[in-house]
Structure 1
Amino acid sequence: MDKGVRKRRDGNPKLDGSLKDQLQTDGVIKGVAGDRQFVTALARGLEILRAFEPGDGPLGNQELAERTGLPKATISRLTYTLSALGYITYLERLGKYQLGTPVLALGYASLAGMEIRQTARAAMQELADKESVSVALGGRDRMSMRYLQTCHPESLATLRLEIGARVPIESTSIGLAFLCALPEGERGYLLERIEERSGEEWPEIRDGIAQAEEDIAKKGFCTSFGKWRSDVHAVGVPLVPRDGAPVMAFNCGGPAFMLDQDRMEQEVGPRLVDLVRRLATNRGDINF
């Protein structure tokens, strides 16, 4: 079986790919082509929609082929079909496509179904305003973390990542916190994938993950001081929903020149832990 495909306990394939690493999944799709329950055409169509990222602008068939790894002829048929259904819109002047309104409806329906976003928002905004930090809630999207809710203080004009933003798992506080809360099987699988794509950087990344695990056990939060971006300091805390929903994580962060390490360790980190613990207690979830 292809390395990008693992069987879940229910017998269904769990797909994972990574923009090039994230989205080039034709090999993954072919890896389950023998599964009679798996609809390859549907999977390829969804990969086209996944190829559009916030801030990208319109994409042409060539760009979609490069991002997904799908053949150009296949891309052409899929974009024609998705355009006919309204999921993407063809911009004749540019010769490119952009996402259509029906995709927006799907996104809003998904977000509206995540009750935790509404439950946590007031406390997140309060912390953001009090500490002059950005506060975010995120979940895994393949080999990245995707922001599901964000709150910012008025005083912070930079580094305002919004809902839908995607950041790495292995170098951000939100990603490290998420990794530390995963069940052993899923965590091991993700670590294998991270090692595969990290190359010579893997030993340093492995040590960072181990340190995050130790920090969460001792303090309830982990840190990322310049690991993702040299000018960003952040702390992260995991949350495990008891209802069987996927593991999530919270983070607080901002410009390093505004948030020195001592302040993040002594003030911001403990306050984020308190926020998540209160939320977990009220919802009956598990916090670390």
Structure 2
Amino acid sequence: MGRQRHATISPLDEVDPSEDRRFVTALARGLTLLRCFTPSDRWLAHQELARRTGLPQATVSRLTYTLTSLGYLRHRASTGEYALSPAVLSLGFSVLSNFQVGRIARPFMEALAEHTQAAISLGVRHDTSVVYVAHCRSTARLILGLDVGTRLPFAETAMGRAIWCAATPGMQDLMARRLRAQDASLWPEREAGLRRAEAECARRGYAVSESEWESEIAAIGVGIDLGDGREPLALTVGGPASRLQGTLLHEDFGPALVRTGREIVAAIQAAAWED
């Protein structure tokens, strides 16, 4: 058995990096522009990119020119629209191929999917969103059509709320500032939802989202804290709100989710000892 490796906790995890002199604003804006494209988007107009990023149109023009020149965007001159190019995939392939957490978690997720006949997802936080890094579907006919790479709002989803509940106070403070800066008018409602999630996690061990980010969809989520300094992940069970409710949810699916989360943490920690 090999010696366990210890990760270093970076102080940047709990401060706003944009306040650091090493922070490159132009790079951050370019990545923000790339993130504007959702799985349902093909081509986006210049004006729409400006609207989604909140950046001046002149800044968007410089960014799109640079990203097109580097091969990360395609430009359709006839309409002035932009699309992601296949080169963007190269940015994520190395991460996905080395993302051992998803590989180790998959058997546990598959078993939970068959037990609940629901969609099981593993996700991480990315700025004010959460992103699926692993996803399993059961054989049930009525199931969520989401997949790896899907991006969802942080504060309104069980996945985001579960991450919030497992996060350190410093990370919660950072997330609160970012969510408030994103839309100050929505922050009171979002904060209330996150505080409710804290109470739910303390009482039941998992957070709940009922038709809040998409109508007729409900989910429960549990934080996955690997105990090595990394920001927590979240494991969720999702499906039709008409099914994920009452006794079935809170006396069967919920306990099964919490148990599976613990099994995944134990398996990942055991793998770390063996490396």
Which residue, out of 78, 83, 90, partners 2:75?
A: 90
Alignment of 1:157-172 (within 5 A): 157-172=142-157
SS in 2 for 1:199: coil
Aligned partner of 2:40 in structure 1 is 55
Identify the residue that residue 185 of structure 2 maps to in structure 1: 199
Say which SS state the counterpart of residue 167 (structure 2) adopts.
coil
Residue of structure 2 in register with 1:23 after alignment: none
Letter in 2 for 1:14: D
Q: Give the structure, 1 or 2, with the largest relative contact order (CA under 8 Å, sep 6 or more).
A: 2
Aligned partner of residue 214 in structure 1, secondary structure: helix
Structure 1: gaps of 5 or more residues: 1-7, 16-27
CA distance in 1, matches of 2:233, 2:158: 12
Provide TM-score, normalisation by structure 2: 0.83
Partners of 2:109 and 2:142 lie apart in 1 by 17
Partners of 2:164 and 2:204 in 1: how far apart?
16
The 1:121/1:193 distance shift into structure 2, 3 A limit, reads same
Q: 2:161 aligns with which of 170, 176, 196?
A: 176
CA contact (8 A) 1:171 1:227 kept: yes
1: distance between equivalents of 2:196 and 2:12?
Answer: 34
Q: Which moved more, 1:269-278 or 1:59-68?
A: 59-68
Runs of 4+ in structure 1 deviating by more than 6 angstroms, as ranges, are none
Q: Shift in Å at residue 140 of structure 1?
A: 0.9
- Change in CA separation of 1:38 and 1:227 when aligned onto 2, cut-off 3 Å: closer
Change (3 A) 1:200 1:97: closer
Aligned to 1:213: 198
Please tell me whether residue 44 in structure 1 is matched to residue 46 in structure 2.
no
Judged with a 3 Å threshold, the aligned counterparts in structure 2 of structure 1 residues 114 and 265 are, in CA distance, closer, same or farther, namely same
2:171 partner letter: E
Q: Deviations over 1:28-63 (max 9, x none)?
A: 7xx76xx3x333332332222122222122112222
- Structure 2 matches for 1:113-192, cutoff 5 A? 113-192=98-177
Give the conservation status (yes or no) of the 8 Å contact 1:223–1:235.
Answer: yes
State the 1:249 CA deviation.
0.6
- Contact 1:132/1:156 (CA < 8 Å) preserved in 2? no
**Structure 1 residues 230, 46: CA separation in 2 closer, same or farther (over 3 Å shift)?**
closer
- The 8 Å contact of residues 145 and 175 in structure 1, kept in 2 or not, is answered as yes
State the shift of 1:110 in Å: 2.0
Residue matched to 2:5: none
Distance across 2 between alignment mates of 1:240 and 1:230: 29
3-state DSSP of counterpart to 1:234:
strand
Q: C-alpha separation between the residues in 2 aligned to 1:206 and 1:88?
A: 36
Amino acid at match of 2:185: G
- Structure 2: state its 5+ residue gaps: 1-9, 271-275
CA contact (8 A) 2:30 2:63 kept: yes
CA RMSD of aligned residues (A): 2.6
Shift of 1:273: 0.9
Q: 1:251 aligns with which of 208, 233, 236?
A: 236
Whether 1:69 and 2:54 are equivalent positions in the alignment is yes
Deviations 1:53-103 (A, max 9, x none): 221221122221222232323322322221121111123444311111221
Q: Could you give the per-residue CA deviations for residues 164-217 of structure 1, whole angstroms, max 9, x where no partner exists?
A: 222222222111111111111111232344456363772x54444333223323
Q: Distance in 2 between matches of 1:38 and 1:228?
A: 32
Count of matched residue pairs = 260
Q: Using a 3 Å threshold, how does the CA distance of structure 1 residues 105 and 75 change in structure 2: closer, same or farther?
A: same
Deviation, structure 1 residue 148 = 1.3
How far apart are the structure 2 equivalents of 1:131 and 1:235?
12
Q: Percent identity among equivalent residues?
A: 35
